[in-house]
Amino acid sequence: MKKTIYELLLRSAALFGIPARLFARALKSQSTNLIILLYHDVDREQFRNHLHFLDKHFRLVDLDELVHLIERREFPSDLTAAITFDDGLQSFYRNAFPIVDETGIPVANYVTSGVVDSEYWYKPGQHRIFIPGKTESEPTQLILPQDRNDAKNSGFTIEPGLTSEQLLEASRHPKITIGAHSVTHRLLRETTYDECKREIFDSKKDLESLIGHEVRHFAYPGGSFSEREVLLVQEAGFASGASSQDIWIPREVSPFIIPRKGAGPKGVSLNWLQYRIGR
């Protein structure tokens, strides 16, 4: 696989433990006018205000179009953005879906297939997420809860995932793209080869079975990936892979290592968003 400057810098940063902020600074001069924004959870008014601002200052495109621009090396002169969500939380259906339907602004949701008709257990501030009955083991000292009450008493936050019906309805909306985000949200670099392959391949297969059409895009859980994960995402038949490197999209970027900028947690102000996307 041909390496871009971005990929080589990314590998070097990981190898030598370079902080993400320094990595982002090194690539600032490489940046284009393309950006992907990353949300997890929003409230309605927050998301409506964010979209109003973004629609005024950016050309907002769907994920397919943005990936095509990268593939063709066509970097627009005007500010261009795609909006994405991670995880497949039920709050997307309650709070974001109605605003997408109201505004007609396209978004993508990278869904963890195992959380559909289930729920997430996680500790705030950590990328490790557990799905009851599906997360079997983790190479970490964090002990998995025995049941829902144990999870609550142990300080875990519990978030319901999309139901099958909600996922299907969202997937049929012309402005919503469904992507894959693994099966159980394990940090893929910490898995064996076979585990990693199952997480990537089965997420695509499971979601396609649920929604009845192709799932073309993948996002690495926790933004954690290496060359192995990138190659497996390509082998699985995805058209792109998204990370969470907190930068605008650089010129020398692979469609399988696309950075995204965090747009903020639930309830953050418009001023916070403006600060986040500044450069």
Distance CA 145, CA 125 (A): 18
Residue 18 pLDDT:
42
204, 180 contact by CB (below 8 A) = yes
- What confidence tens digit (pLDDT) does each residue in 206-245 have? 999 999 999 999 999 999 899 999 999 999 999 999 999 8
Q: How many CA atoms lie within 13 A of 268 on its CB side?
A: 16
119, 161 contact by CB (below 8 A) = yes
Instruction: Please check the confidence at residue 16 and state whether its pLDDT lies above 60.
Output: no
Global pTM value: 0.88
Q: Which CATH class is domain 30-116+161-277?
A: alpha beta
Q: Among residues 222, 216, 258, which one has the least CA distance to residue 237?
A: 216
